[in-house]
Amino acid sequence: MRNPKVLIIYTGGTIGMINDPETGALKPFDFEHLYNSVPELKQFDYELEAYSMDEPIDSSEMNPSIWAEIATTIFDKYVNYDGFVVLHGSDTMAYTASALSFMLQGLRKPVILTGSQLPIGQIRTDGKENIITAIEIAGMKADNGEAIVQEVALYFEYSLYRGNRSQKISAENFEAFESANYRNLAEAGVHIAFNHNALYRTKLTELQLNTNFCTDLALVKLFPGMPIGSIAPLFDITKTKGVLIESFGAGNSFSNSAFEKLLMNYISSGGVVLNVTQCVTGSVNHGKYETSALFSKAGVIGGSDMTTEAALAKMMFVLGEKSDLVEKRRRLEENLCGELTKKRS
Ligand code: ASP
């Protein structure tokens, strides 16, 4: 069997940063520097190739057109490689992982995002282990010759997570991510132990590239005492096509007739409202408490146990699709690529 071929796509992030001598602040640097700082990469019995974005960025600068560039690069080069590793800043990595899972549906090869909390040039860096294991996973095959991982995943500090289930939870710890509502896909110890039952398998017959994302969205996080006047301008169909609400507990809201009216008017004029919970674990369950009745009444869609990152990316994807509103609402409730747990009816 030939050696696995892996493409490393470098977008920037702390992993490849250096200190600016003038300001002392960390700024992105080129891939050459990163590659030379990890001599272990030369020992891989994999064929490694690299593709660097024109200008490496801090991931706070990430946006849907760069997601489209990453996805298109993978799509165009898909048949030439066994797997892909995307080096990315950790700050918005969960958003990018979520977005790529919707942009690249029908994957049968791994797309593994990774990065680090400390630059690769620093002695205590977490970047080396992350990049080495991410590459290893990207080239791993089962006995039948198929890739073990066939989805967008995120590798950080010995754990592999489903991309659209992951969230950054620490600005400090090496263990910076978690997937609170879904099992980890693998743990890396002496061996890489996969949780085979948790791995996603597509039903699509070929890879699809969907880069037409709609970004006319707003995100509203409820808080006790929130003045409705402050969020009213967001529920305006001439400005937004969709609003994501982060609600309390199992999808609850304060009772407020002005809020209810706002939601009803927006939805009847064609706006889409999706509801996810502010809680780290658990799910939206409209109807469980009386305090979610206003959402059901107004036609707000329950986002099940999706993360905010996945819900935003999914709204961008679904609202960008050529379909009518009924279909869009149905798609938002569906499990499209492992991003939510479907309630058993
Ligand atoms: N600010 C950095 C970034 O997201 C942080 C990191 O990479 O960990 O690009």
pLDDT at 342: 86
Res. 334: pLDDT tops 70: yes
The answer, yes or no, to whether any atom of ligand 1 lies below 6 A from the CB of 181, is no
How far apart are alpha carbons 290 and 228 in whole angstroms?
Answer: 20
Compute, in angstroms, the gap from residue 13 CA to the centroid of ligand 1: 5
pLDDT at 155: 98
Using the atom order of ligand 1, give the atom closest to the CA of residue 12: 9
The answer, yes or no, to whether any atom of ligand 1 lies below 6 A from the CB of 163, is no
pLDDT at 261: 96
The answer, yes or no, to whether any atom of ligand 1 lies below 6 A from the CB of 115, is yes
How many CB atoms lie under 10 A from the CB of residue 137? Answer: 25
Q: What would the mean pLDDT of 34-57 be, rounded to a whole number?
A: 90
Domain ranges for the chain, please list them: 5-209, 217-333
Compute, in angstroms, the gap from residue 167 CA to the centroid of ligand 1: 14
Using the atom order of ligand 1, give the atom closest to the CA of residue 57: 9
Residue range 5-209 in CATH 3.30.420.310 = no
pLDDT band at 121 (very low <50, low <70, confident <90, very high): confident
Active site includes 114? no
Res. 233: pLDDT tops 80: yes
Using the atom order of ligand 1, give the atom closest to the CA of residue 13: 9
Equal fold, 5-209 vs 217-333? yes
The answer, yes or no, to whether any atom of ligand 1 lies below 6 A from the CB of 14, is yes
Residue pair 287/260 in contact (Cβ under 8 Å)? The answer is no
Res. 345: pLDDT tops 60: no
pLDDT at 344: 59
pLDDT at 1: 75
Spot the catalytic one: 11, 14, 133, 308: 14
Using the atom order of ligand 1, give the atom closest to the CA of residue 115: 7
Residue pair 23/113 in contact (Cβ under 8 Å)? The answer is no
pLDDT at 260: 96
Using the atom order of ligand 1, give the atom closest to the CA of residue 176: 8
pTM: 0.96
Compute, in angstroms, the gap from residue 14 CA to the centroid of ligand 1: 5
Question: Whose CA is closest to atom 8 on ligand 1?
Answer: 90
Buried b (16+ CB within 10 A) or exposed e, 276-312: bbebeeebbbbeeeebbebbeebebbbbbbbbbbbbb
* Per-residue CA distances from 219 to 134, 222, 245 (Å): 32, 10, 6
pLDDT at 287: 85
Compute, in angstroms, the gap from residue 26 CA to the centroid of ligand 1: 9
pLDDT at 31: 82
pLDDT at 41: 87
The CATH fold of domain 217-333: Rossmann fold (3.40.50)
pLDDT digits (tens, 9 = 90+) for 257-269: 999 999 999 999 9
What is the distance, to the nearest Å, from the Cα of residue 113 to the centroid of all Cα atoms in its chain? Answer: 10
The answer, yes or no, to whether any atom of ligand 1 lies below 6 A from the CB of 157, is no
Compute, in angstroms, the gap from residue 149 CA to the centroid of ligand 1: 25
pLDDT at 143: 95
Compute, in angstroms, the gap from residue 117 CA to the centroid of ligand 1: 7
Q: What is the mean pLDDT of the chain?
A: 95
pLDDT at 32: 83
Closest CA to 70 of 157, 11, 141, 133: 11
Share of the chain above pLDDT 70, in %: 99
Q: What would the mean pLDDT of 133-148 be, rounded to a whole number?
A: 97
Q: Please tell me the least confidently modeled range out of 30-39, 107-116, 211-220, 276-285.
A: 30-39
pLDDT band at 89 (very low <50, low <70, confident <90, very high): very high
Substitution site in 58, 92, 114, 126 for ligand 1 pocket (most atoms within 8 Å of beta carbon): 58
The answer, yes or no, to whether any atom of ligand 1 lies below 6 A from the CB of 13, is yes
Q: What would the mean pLDDT of 304-320 be, rounded to a whole number?
A: 98
The answer, yes or no, to whether any atom of ligand 1 lies below 6 A from the CB of 89, is yes
Q: What would the mean pLDDT of 63-67 be, rounded to a whole number?
A: 98
Q: What would the mean pLDDT of 132-154 be, rounded to a whole number?
A: 97
How far apart are alpha carbons 258 and 254 in whole angstroms?
Answer: 11
The answer, yes or no, to whether any atom of ligand 1 lies below 6 A from the CB of 178, is no
How far apart are alpha carbons 167 and 96 in whole angstroms?
Answer: 11
Closest CA to 318 of 303, 336, 343: 336
Q: What would the mean pLDDT of 307-330 be, rounded to a whole number?
A: 97
Compute, in angstroms, the gap from residue 90 CA to the centroid of ligand 1: 5
